[in-house]
Amino acid sequence: MEMASAFTLNVRLDNVAVVTIDVPGEKMNTLKAEFASQVRAILKQIRDNRALRGVVFISAKPDNFIAGADINMIGSCRSAQEAETLARQGQQMMAEINALPIPVIAAIHGACLGGGLEMALACHNRICTDDVKTVLGLPEVQLGLLPGSGGTQRLPRLIGVSTALDMILTGKQLRAKQALKVGLVDEVVPHSILLEAAVELAKKDSSAHRTLPVRERVLAGPLGRALLFRMASKKTVQKTQGNYPATERILEVIETGLAQGSSSGYDAEARAFGELVMTSQSQALRHIFFANTDVKKDPGSDAKPGPLNSVGILGGGLMGGGIAYVTACKGGLPVRIKDINAKGINHALKYSWDQLETKVRRRHIKASERDKQLALISGSIDYRGFAHRDLIIEAVFEDLSLKQRMVTEVEQNCAPHTIFASNTSSLPIGDIAANAARPEQVIGLHFFSPVEKMPLVEVIPHATTSEQTIATTVKLAKKQGKTPIVVRDKAGFYVNRILAPYINEAIRMLTEGERVETIDAALVKFGFPVGPIQLLDEVGIDTGTKIIPVLEAAYGERFSAPANVVASILNDDRKGRKNGRGFYLYGAKGRKSKKQVDPAIYTLIGVQGQGRLTAAQIAERCVMLMLNEAARCFDEKIVRSARDGDIGAVFGIGFPPFLGGPFRYMDSLGAGEVVAVLQRLTTQYGSRFTPCEQLLQMAERSERFWNIGETDLNS
């Protein structure tokens, strides 16, 4: 075989063929259409060699088997027909592997996802390593697609329909032990003996299939099946609000295969795959996937990052504790926490302990691993142990003079190269650095709460921050497992600035008499994970409203909150979930009943809650203000590109991923349409809806966000 092949066949002395998968020049093995001929040539060699006793497929990559199919290949399809043909080619290749007359074993180490798992399913048996890197799953639904190379048909037959539905509808990934338990793999072994164990299995000819549990067998029968699919459909609609067509099609295709037999199932799978590739939802989700990959590769600056061997954190509160956890446990860096008293340090340490202990309980990590990670975190009530820290993250109260004092103290107690990063959500970084001896080493690093869950961070250089400081801070954010975007130092930065008018408008509709649950439900239906009022409860009403006056002072009255409402809620000691009093009622922990709105809210704000608007009208008012503000941020270069703006909104506030982010969504509507809607809303509700200059110009010139500004990211 020539060098360029991704598949190499090697026949051992004991007559077991080992097929090694190694895509040249790539970190990950991904399946491409052009590999079909390579696989066919190998399968022909296997069929022609009558002496062979079995075949093992194994990867030469250190940490992945096959991470899925190449998404670019899907993107280049111009019609549903083309994409359907692609799926049928994949199905055909898997069928040929499955039809080999001798045992075929997939020896899996590392990520085995999407097309990779479909290939493993086409083998007769599967064996995997007990390594943390080994995960198996079909994540296609997250790109608005379904498995197109036989996965929807083979998986239910192997592990039972309800377990398969759960995997395919959510895209969830199983670890080795979980995969063994559900019958997805036949053996779990240490990495060092993977090949040997797979060869032994290939010699066995163990084609006897495990019997499915009774529950799964009942659910596969006609009655159980009807019930299961009815329940699954109901649950799915609740979750997706009908915004993700892939889930409906997955249910349909799996049911077709079970009711009408495999060949009808494969046929339905290829057809559905072709149609889904062409949907706007899948295109937007793939757009987000590529933009995210792109951001992760972006170093944020052309300069070389400085040293990054240890980190200090000021403040052991909720944010400080969360930042310490991701820095030590995800980034593997030693962390020192400073707080004014031991209580704060203990709070932060307990935070990491709780997170890790949950992982031990769920058997994701061993107790020894927990202890090793915890040992990276230490604390003190003074600056002992700070002298050599490369970067200090400040997570103290939102008070300018306090933060300025922190800068001075760090400059006195740390090394000359130490970077000072502030986790502020509203104060300008330039003001924090105003009295600094080394302002070029001061930067903003804005995390979102809860830190361990929210993937986004905003990296905020002020006017004199050095390029090296930017590069080092971006590097740290990536080590922490975050997606960083570099934004300009102006009030509210980017995420909070586009979020504020959206939440303000929801509050304003409350004062007009709309009900809390109606407003929240309308935006969940639109595609947000939670509604704006529930979000305010989650973030903390006191924290969320702190930023409003800052924005109002900077940008004028379009940011003014409805008078007195917020004040009367805060005066009633309502901070949201954190103190158990907000717009919603927070009962005792335990089995959560359906979340209820606190009826006292309506008395507090002096309205009755008689709704008059439709869900579409409510969503339109909130979303249009967010889009208008996002366009202003683009114009003012708050975000460096439409890409960063889309990623910031999707990962920072849960902007509906199937719309691809605010800029992609405005492009799909067209600037003219966005302007027309804003003008109509201006007439109805007032000047805060006036379309910004950027949008008016774009509408006039028929321009799009994604072809201006996306190529020149460093302007």
Asked if 414 and 442 count as a contact pair (C-beta separation under 8 A), the reply is: no
Structure-block tokens of residue 386: 């700070």
Q: Quick check: 650 and 626 in contact, CB under 8 A? A: no
Measured distance CA(541)–CA(544) in Å, rounded? 5
Contact 671, 679 (CB under 8 A): no
Tokens of 309: 């061997």
* Among 133, 132, 117, residue whose Cα is nearest residue 57: 117
Cβ-based neighbour number of residue 296 at 10 Å? 12
Is 75 exposed, middle or buried, given 0-12, 13-18 or 19+ CB atoms closer than 10 A? middle
Report the C-alpha gap between 269 and 6 in whole angstroms. 27
Sheet holding 173-175, edge to edge: 64-66, 111-113, 135-137, 173-175
Alpha helices in 298-330, H assignment, sequence order: 318-325
DSSP per-residue string spanning 601-618: HHHHHT------S-HHHH
Pinpoint the alpha helices (H) of 49-160.
Answer: 71-75, 80-98, 115-122, 151-159
Residue 488 has which token pair?
């300009």
Report the SS3 class of residue 205. coil
CA 432 to chain centre: 31
Angle between helix 671-685 and 662-669 (nearest 10): 100
**Catalytic sites, residue numbers:** 458
Helices and strands counted in the chain (H then E): 30, 18
Query: What is d(CA 539, CA 547) in angstroms, rounded to the nearest whole number?
Result: 12
- 327 near 335, Cβ under 8 Å? yes
Strand (E) positions, 98-176? 104-108, 111-113, 125-129, 135-137, 173-175
Exposure string over 676-685, b if 16+ CB within 10 A, otherwise e: ebbeebeeee
* Whole-number Å distance between alpha carbons of 585 and 236: 26
Please list the residues that pair with 311 across neighbouring strands: 335, 391
Q: In whole angstroms, how large is the CA radius of gyration of the chain?
A: 28
Which residues does residue 379 pair with via DSSP β-bridges, in sequence order?
337
Helix, strand and coil content of the chain, in percent to the nearest 5, comes to 55, 10, 35
User: Does residue 450 have a cis bond before it (omega within 30 degrees)?
Assistant: yes
Q: What is the DSSP string of 365-401?
A: S-HHHHHHHHTTEEEESSSTT-TT-SEEEE---S-HH
